[in-house]
Amino acid sequence: MDNGFDNSISGGADLRPDADERHMARAIDQAYIAEENGDVPIGCVIVYEGQVVAKAYNQREQLHDPTAHAEIIALTQAAEFIGNWRLHGCTIYVTLEPCPMCAGALVLARMDRLVYGCDDPKTGAVRSLYNIVQDERLNHRLEVTAGVLADKCTAQLQEFFKRRREEKRNSEFL
């Protein structure tokens, strides 16, 4: 059954899987910056014509802004770089499946392609709970590749939340 997702990360004549992994590794690097700043480690990069034109990480805690998701910040950067809010020709790489807000923003920005690391069973709006980016009722749809470096993305998030739970538990004993 074709669910509209490309979960393959195989080699062969198509060099895109190698590029996808390389760009996802850059998104993971951005996620570490979020973690260093006390935020949930989610990072992303946007690529246009083979060049990284935006890179961002979650900054909700840092900016005290519920909309300061990595994707939203990167979209703003990419639009500024390109000089247009329509981001045709762009691919976004994000470590976690986008939430409804971010998925909607990707559609509104007219992104060509979304590549993400791991699924988000609690708020995922690409496959887990909704499929906003490929909803035929909307005027634009994105190509989606899921599962790129998923194990690394998942491990990064799990370690972050494990540490956060331990810190909370330890602070309760003080």
Amino acid identity, residue 80? Answer: E
What is the Cα–Cα distance from 28 to 20, expressed in whole angstroms?
12
| Tokens (6 digits) for 142 | 């994105």
Please pick, among 71, 80, 136, 172, the residue that the annotation labels catalytic: 71
**93: β partners:** 45, 115
What is the Cα–Cα distance from 52 to 35, expressed in whole angstroms?
22
Parallel/antiparallel/unpaired status of strands 5-6 and 143-146: parallel
Catalytic residue at 61? no
List active site positions: 71
